[in-house]
Amino acid sequence: MTSPLTVLAPVSGTVIAMSDVPDPVFAAELVGPGLAIEPDAQDGSTVRSPIDGTIVKLHPHAFVVQAADGRGVLVHLGINTVQLEGEGFTLHAAEGDAVTAGQTLITWDIAAIAATERSTTCPVVALDAQADAVDRTAAVGSNAGDGTTLLTWGA
């Protein structure tokens, strides 16, 4: 049995249920269970690593950090943001980097992305996790900030 993995809020904002994410794949938790955050217009522009681990995938608009035990957490910044091709996103880390929870990985221009009429909602997914393995520690509607525990995986 693996030890519980604490997943911190990668952006500051309001916690929302995954089922309310305006994307059918995330909403149905097809790639894993989790929660989403509607980022704060100002404080939400800094994107932090949710766990200690290695960046195994890094796009301007989304990334996966894998813990030493192999579990991966996906953070997606906004919906349909792949179409922006990096416009409005600044990377502060590289694929393959070892990172610590809370470390700044990306900054993004939320107002500019909202102006493209895309949702800025950020799904945080426990990749390939069993639905009952993830405890949604943060309450829907609560405010998540730097250091807030969002999910507890495998508790």
Q: List active site positions.
A: 76
Give the Cα separation of 79 and 92 in Å (integer).
21
Q: From the CB of 64, what's the least distance to another protein, in Å?
A: 6
Are the C-beta atoms of residues 75 and 10 closer than 8 Å to each other? Answer: yes
In the complex, least distance from residue 111 CB atom to another protein, rounded to whole angstroms: 23
Task: Using CB under 8 A, list all residues that contact another protein.
Answer: 24-25, 28, 30-31, 56-57, 59, 62, 64, 72, 74, 76, 82, 127-128
**CA pair distance 149, 57, nearest whole angstrom:** 22
CB of 91 vs another protein, minimal distance in Å: 15
18 phi and psi, to 5 degrees? -60, -35
Nearer to another protein, 87 or 128 (CB): 128
